[in-house]
Structure 1
Amino acid sequence: MKLGVLSDIHGNRVALRAVLADMPAVDMLVCAGDVVGYNPWHADCVDAMRGVGEADGYPDEEVPTVMGNHDRAVAGTTPFAFNGMAKAGVEHATEQLDDDQLDWLSALPDETHVCDDRVKLVHGHPDDPDHYTYPDEFGPDLLGEEDVLVMGHTHRQYHERYEDGVVMNPGSVGQPRDGDHRAAYAVLDLETLSVDEHRVGYDTDAVIHAVSDAGLPREIGFRLTQGR
């Protein structure tokens, strides 16, 4: 069984569509959180993960998704300290989403298991959803009973395979921060416990213009050209 693994879409419809078009055939999609925030297409990205998006190539069923810190802030379930760009994105998403979309965000869990509990999804860390677990913190001690632990939050693509399983971060679809501006995702093969990391280019200029048109801080768009 093959899983398409997404994380940190952050309202970037252009990047999400590029990723879904580039992705090889998989049996299901999963998402490690932060569907909204920063970029201006929060509603479109939420509907894509809800399985009700209307664009060609979007999932036709709900994608197992955990709650990221931006999702939580928009849903209003807990406060979170943000910088100016992040705060602007949260406020924009809160204004844009309708009640059904906000209810979906509010109901997202901090963790979930798929594939007969072989794969565990969290956003930041198994013990703290807001902790940034960078690659130098990866280790077999992060694994529980699952074969694969999927994390997001850092926007940095990385994975390690250990005797007891795999720890991975697919990177960010909508705002990579590892020096590569291309949208990131991964494909997990559960039969072999192998991870293929993918990057795909997309029209960052279109996002820059949309960010400006939405009245969001210009830096949100420009940083996409540098992967930071």
Structure 2
Amino acid sequence: MKVALIADVHANLPALEAVMKHAWGKGCEAFWNAGDSVGYGAFPEEVVTLLRRHAVNVVGNYDRKVLDVKKKGGFRKQAGMPEKQMAFNWAYENLSEESRRWLRSLPEQLRMEVEGKKVLLLHASPLSPKEHLSKETPLSRFEALAEAADADLVVCGHSHRPFTLRAKGTVFVNPGSVGRPDDEDARASYATVFLRKGVFRLCHYRVEYDVERAADEARRRGLPEPFAQMLLRGTDLGSVLAEDEPPCGSERTTRASAGELLDSARKLAEVCGAEEGHARQVERLALELFDLLRPVHGLGEPERLWLQCASILHDIGWIEGGSGHHKTSQRLIQDSPLLEGFSSRERRIIGAIARYHRGSLPRESHFHYQAICEKDRFTIRELASLLRLADGMDSSHGAIVREIGLRLEGSRLLLECRVSSPAFCERESAEKKKDLFELTFGRELKIEWIQA
């Protein structure tokens, strides 16, 4: 009997399909899956469907974290990187209830007897669902695990590193990761075992697959760019973030100058056919609000630049139509190759600011918002509130607001808008769009309209 050993698919359908095709070509009759079937990738439902049909499965620690997302009717806050929290929450929301029930039904360990050999299938180690085993693990530890396993063959995953090792008569094999390798080799990893009459033979394989499809689908479905980069580079999330981004809340570290970044933003706006007059008016008003409110928000030049770029780009989503154009703007800002010089973190921040210029307010159930650290999320709320208000102050696209002023009256702020005409549209829209400002800054905002 020849069996394909797989692990850590992480919702990567193109990789799983390529591995299955390769394994069938090698004469495999069955698949044993060591868990972590979902999380990070863009295809959780499709992967579960395929594994249910073709594999013997156990549950992994990431599968458990996905299933444990909902606590008392809300999303659970996960410790660690916000990107990981987003991965769990997004996977949960994109699995059917039937698939969730199936994942919950899977055992942590599965014992089988095949061709006279005792086999133990599990995710991490015989003694812990979270222990990372690799070639660097001391032999003494493997010997202790061999005694606990009471098996001839232990099939595990979790570490994403392929290896085969013998200890006290037990063979441990990790086939590596099908869907999210982290050894700087982007190819899918799996192994085969041939069992006959009490003898088995193991082979490891790396398989080319359409990694661009997997990465592009992650982007298309709104997952953070680092998730796509993990696949393209064959590395883990921490390594991608360390290479691409400064720590949360730190200063901008891109090499491009502010002028170059603004030129890049204007180029993308032009290509997308954004209305230049409206964009320039919103940009002017947003920056004037930022400058007038410096004593209140205490933000600096990097944040001002993010607001300026978001103002330039906030309506580029109209290239795909008006419905949901704010969400399209966000996606284009995050993904467009024409927007050069920005880090992944800056793209996420600017995209989120643009996304909230209209529609619903920021909330943690928005997956893209979850993927941003808490300090940056608060900055986004502050800057988006200014863009939202500035957009409302030019709702007719007529550049009616000529001058603005701001003063403190007790516990409230008074915004004076000098206009060239009655500004009926602007009055109504600005009143509606001051909602995020008042929530974020905790002050009532009164707007006075003065016709010159």
The TM-score normalised by the length of structure 1 is 0.89
**What residue number does 2:145 align with?**
142
From the superposition, tell whether residues 135 and 82 of structure 1 become closer, same or farther in structure 2 (CA, over 3 Å): farther
Which of 144, 154, 157 is the aligned partner of 1:152? 157
Task: Name the stretch that deviates more: 151-160 or 161-170.
Answer: 161-170
SS in 1 for 2:125: coil
Whole-Å separation in 2 of the counterparts to 1:179 and 1:92: 25
Kindly indicate whether the alpha-carbon contact (under 8 Å) linking 1:120 and 1:149 is maintained by their aligned counterparts in 2: yes
**What residue number does 1:76 align with?**
68
Cα deviations across residues 194-223 of structure 1 (Å, max 9, x unaligned)? 210001011111111111111111111112
Shift of 1:165: 2.6
Cα deviations across residues 104-123 of structure 1 (Å, max 9, x unaligned)? 11111111112357110111
Identical aligned residues as a percent: 31
Whole-Å separation in 1 of the counterparts to 2:167 and 2:81: 36
Shift of 1:102: 0.4
From the superposition, tell whether residues 21 and 205 of structure 1 become closer, same or farther in structure 2 (CA, over 3 Å): same
**What residue number does 2:347 align with?**
none
- Higher Cα Rg, which structure: 2
Whole-Å separation in 2 of the counterparts to 1:83 and 1:174: 20
Task: Name the stretch that deviates more: 86-95 or 76-85.
Answer: 76-85
Whole-Å separation in 2 of the counterparts to 1:76 and 1:174: 22
Task: Name the stretch that deviates more: 137-146 or 124-133.
Answer: 137-146
Cα RMSD between the aligned structures? 1.9
**What residue number does 1:66 align with?**
58
Whole-Å separation in 2 of the counterparts to 1:183 and 1:5: 12
SS in 2 for 1:19: helix
SS in 2 for 1:172: coil
Return the letter of the residue paired with 2:145.
L
Whole-Å separation in 1 of the counterparts to 2:169 and 2:80: 36
Whole-Å separation in 2 of the counterparts to 1:175 and 1:82: 19
Whole-Å separation in 2 of the counterparts to 1:108 and 1:141: 26
Cα deviations across residues 182-203 of structure 1 (Å, max 9, x unaligned)? 0000001223322100010111
Return the letter of the residue paired with 1:154.
S
Cα deviations across residues 17-36 of structure 1 (Å, max 9, x unaligned)? 11011111123210000010
SS in 1 for 2:56: coil
From the superposition, tell whether residues 163 and 2 of structure 1 become closer, same or farther in structure 2 (CA, over 3 Å): farther
Higher helix proportion: 2
Cα deviations across residues 138-172 of structure 1 (Å, max 9, x unaligned)? 63432232110011011111111345131010000
**What residue number does 1:31 align with?**
33
Whole-Å separation in 2 of the counterparts to 1:189 and 1:176: 24
SS in 1 for 2:41: coil
Return the letter of the residue paired with 1:48.
L
From the superposition, tell whether residues 118 and 219 of structure 1 become closer, same or farther in structure 2 (CA, over 3 Å): same
Whole-Å separation in 2 of the counterparts to 1:157 and 1:70: 19
Whole-Å separation in 1 of the counterparts to 2:105 and 2:20: 24
Return the letter of the residue paired with 1:46.
V
Task: Name the stretch that deviates more: 12-21 or 86-95.
Answer: 86-95
Return the letter of the residue paired with 2:175.
P
Kindly indicate whether the alpha-carbon contact (under 8 Å) linking 2:127 and 2:145 is maintained by their aligned counterparts in 1: no
Please show how residues 8-47 of structure 1 align to structure 2 within 5 Å: 8-23=8-23, 24-47=26-49
Whole-Å separation in 1 of the counterparts to 2:205 and 2:80: 29
Return the letter of the residue paired with 1:65.
N
Structure 2 residues not aligned, in runs of 5+? 236-452
Shift of 1:94: 0.7
Return the letter of the residue paired with 1:195.
L
**What residue number does 1:106 align with?**
104
Which of 210, 220, 227 is the aligned partner of 1:220? 227
**What residue number does 2:2 align with?**
2
Task: Name the stretch that deviates more: 72-81 or 6-15.
Answer: 72-81
Whole-Å separation in 2 of the counterparts to 1:86 and 1:157: 23
Whole-Å separation in 2 of the counterparts to 1:108 and 1:164: 28
Cα deviations across residues 28-80 of structure 1 (Å, max 9, x unaligned)? 210000010001100011111111xxxxxxx2xxx221111111012228986
Higher relative contact order (CA 8 A, sep 6+): 1
Q: How many positions carry a matched residue from both structures?
A: 218
Structure 1 residues not aligned, in runs of 5+? 52-58
